[in-house]
Amino acid sequence: MNKANYTKRYGFGLVVLLVGIVLLLDNFGVIPYEVRDVIFRWPMIFVLIGLINVINREWTSALILFLIGAFFLLPTLSEHFSYHSLWRFWPVLLIIAGFGILKGRKSSGCHRIKDAGTNSTDYLDVVAVFGSSTNRIRSDNFRGGEIVAVFGGCEIYLTDAMLSPEGGTLDIVTVFGGTKLYVPRDWHVKVESSNVLGGYVDKRVGVGENIDMTRTLKIEGVNVFGGVELLSM
């Protein structure tokens, strides 16, 4: 097992262990009602997945999940807020999206790609906020990059690209958005993303016979009320 996979497995195992301890303490009545009323709310799902991402050092995804979890926990944490009044704070979602974009662009080290035509680059860096973005990539040494879709959608065509000998990693963040990723049929794709009321769907056809297992495109990131579709042409 390589170091990356070990870290992810360790992070997931640690969170499962923590949840088990909390449930055991709750069964014995050790946890005060005030604390129990917070930790057994559905927004804690965001916090738990965010904790896994922190252990895996996926800082952008963790930040987005923590902020979303805190947003929906406000009515529980303070009597001044209610779920009925949360609509006043919808711009907080834009703030969360901004944090994710700024954090991701600071750490990605990728080159900006224009939202039209065909681009020749080894790294992909696309942001779609309240809009759409379509990119066709041509590269003989594609290494990955970052895609952010917030209340928007991205279509990425990698059918004219070749993976680098070391493979590549795409960090995809979708928040109330979606990404369609077109890849060659012979690419080996491994998905290690976190999903909250969202997901990843592999809709490729004719895959399985001539896959090049020596090179892997790894998809990481987080999908919150959004998703990624993997397609072929």
Confidence tier at 118 by pLDDT (50, 70, 90): very low
Distances (CA, A) of 12 to 7, 28, 44, 46, 214: 9, 25, 15, 14, 27
pLDDT, residue 156, reads 92
Question: Does the pLDDT of residue 111 top 50, yes or no?
Answer: no
What strands, in cross-sheet order, belong to the sheet with 132-142? Answer: 118-120, 132-142, 153-163, 178-182, 227-231, 199-202
pLDDT, residue 203, reads 84
Encode pLDDT of 32-59 as tens digits: 888 888 888 888 888 887 887 787 777 7
- First-to-last C-alpha distance (Å) of the chain: 33
pLDDT, residue 26, reads 87
Encode pLDDT of 144-199 as tens digits: 888 888 778 899 999 888 898 888 988 888 878 889 999 988 888 888 877 777 78
The pTM is what? 0.56
Question: Does the pLDDT of residue 104 top 60, yes or no?
Answer: no
CA nearest 50: which of 72, 34, 66, 37?
66
The helix/strand/coil state of 204 is coil
Residue spans of the domains in the chain: they are 3-89, 107-231
